Structure 1
Amino acid sequence: MKSIQSKIVDKDNFGKFGEVVKFPTGRTTSQDITYKFWSNIANYKIEGKTEIGICTVYKQDENIIEGVERHLHTPEILIPIDAPFVLPLLKEGEPDDNIESFKVEIGEAVIVNESVWHGACLPVGKDSASYFVIFRLNTPVEDVEKKSISPTLIET
């Protein structure tokens, strides 16, 4: 069985799968003594209405994934709520052995591009992790393609 080590997500290593959103360090768009606001720190395009869901995932004895899914008509935005998570990803057309995994911390978000294969997130450091899922309305019933992959152990 293949085993892969998760990477700390950054713009360079995640770029072929989508976009990373981290707390900005540059100049604010607007600020006052009561707030600071950074605009336009990430972009994505979704046709039509969107939905926000919450997914909770649970720690397993071993983080083995044997399947992935993708969405052809929407990017997917994932935002950790109560714990970091690890996200397995595979680019369309690449062999299963090219699967990669990224650790996303609370306060960060990732935008997974359309057509990118992904596994369910895996909790890090806790028995469970919940995260916001944002994508096109009705994606779970209208735009999910699944496939099996070679069993892969994800090291968090």
Structure 2
Amino acid sequence: MRKIKAQKLSVDVFNRFGSFTDLLHPEGHDLGGFYPDRVLFPVKFNAPVGFSPLVVHKRDAMIVDSVEYHDHTGEIILPLDTDIVIHVAPASNKLLPEKTEAFIVPKGTLVRLNAGVYHLCPFSIEKETGHVLIALPERTYKTDCVVSAYQENEQLEITL
């Protein structure tokens, strides 16, 4: 099984998968403590955005055995009370497990994944059980979600 090391989020490396901002330690131009438009989340068809809680768990091994993507939308991921690891692979018309990268996302850091980026449930790395806010256009999980399992020889393990 191939192993990949989770890396720190940086604009230079992560920008091809999406964008992010630290909500707990904002920097840059502000309007009296309000930091506008740090991450934009375009939504097609004027769909309402659903905000959904996701409960994540710390694992003995962070094994990536499947992925999902959304053709028509990105996805917002916001760890609320634990640092997490996310895994992503470039948007493509075929699975690219060999191009998977993993990133450490500190709690309070909002991540926006681009449409088409392969990903799946994050792993908690701090608490046994953590809480993550997921934002997607309403019913994306039903109408625009393609889940694929990796073959055993394509699966990978994320290390810190």
Q: Does 1:50 align with 2:61?
A: no
Aligned to 1:60: 59
Aligned to 1:105: 106
Quote the offset at 1:126 in angstroms.
1.5
Aligned to 1:128: 129
Aligned to 2:27: 25
Contact 1:76 1:112 in 2 (8 A): yes
Quote the offset at 1:52 in angstroms.
0.4
CA offsets 1:41-68 (integer angstroms, 9 cap, x no match)? 1212012111000111112221111100
CA offsets 1:81-135 (integer angstroms, 9 cap, x no match)? 1101000001123631110001111121100011110021000122122100001
Structure 2 residues not aligned, in runs of 5+: none
Number of residues of Structure 1 aligned to a counterpart in Structure 2: 151
- The whole-number CA distance in structure 2 between the counterparts of 1:140 and 1:147 is 14
Aligned to 2:12: 12
Other structure's SS at 2:127 match:
coil
- Give the share of equivalent positions with the same residue, in percent: 23
Quote the offset at 1:153 in angstroms.
0.4
Quote the offset at 1:12 in angstroms.
1.2
Query: Relative to total residues, which structure has the larger strand share, 1 or 2?
Result: 1
Other structure's SS at 1:132 match:
strand
- The whole-number CA distance in structure 2 between the counterparts of 1:115 and 1:96 is 14
- The whole-number CA distance in structure 2 between the counterparts of 1:137 and 1:87 is 22
Query: For the structure 1 residues 92 and 27, does the alpha-carbon distance in structure 2 shift closer, same or farther, using more than 3 Å as the test?
Result: closer
Other structure's SS at 1:117 match:
coil
CA offsets 1:13-66 (integer angstroms, 9 cap, x no match)? 1111011112432231x21xxxx1111112120121110001111122211111
Relative to the length of structure 1, the TM-score reads 0.91
Structure 1 residues not aligned, in runs of 5+: none
Query: For the structure 1 residues 153 and 134, does the alpha-carbon distance in structure 2 shift closer, same or farther, using more than 3 Å as the test?
Result: same
Letter in 1 for 2:88: L
Other structure's SS at 1:116 match:
coil
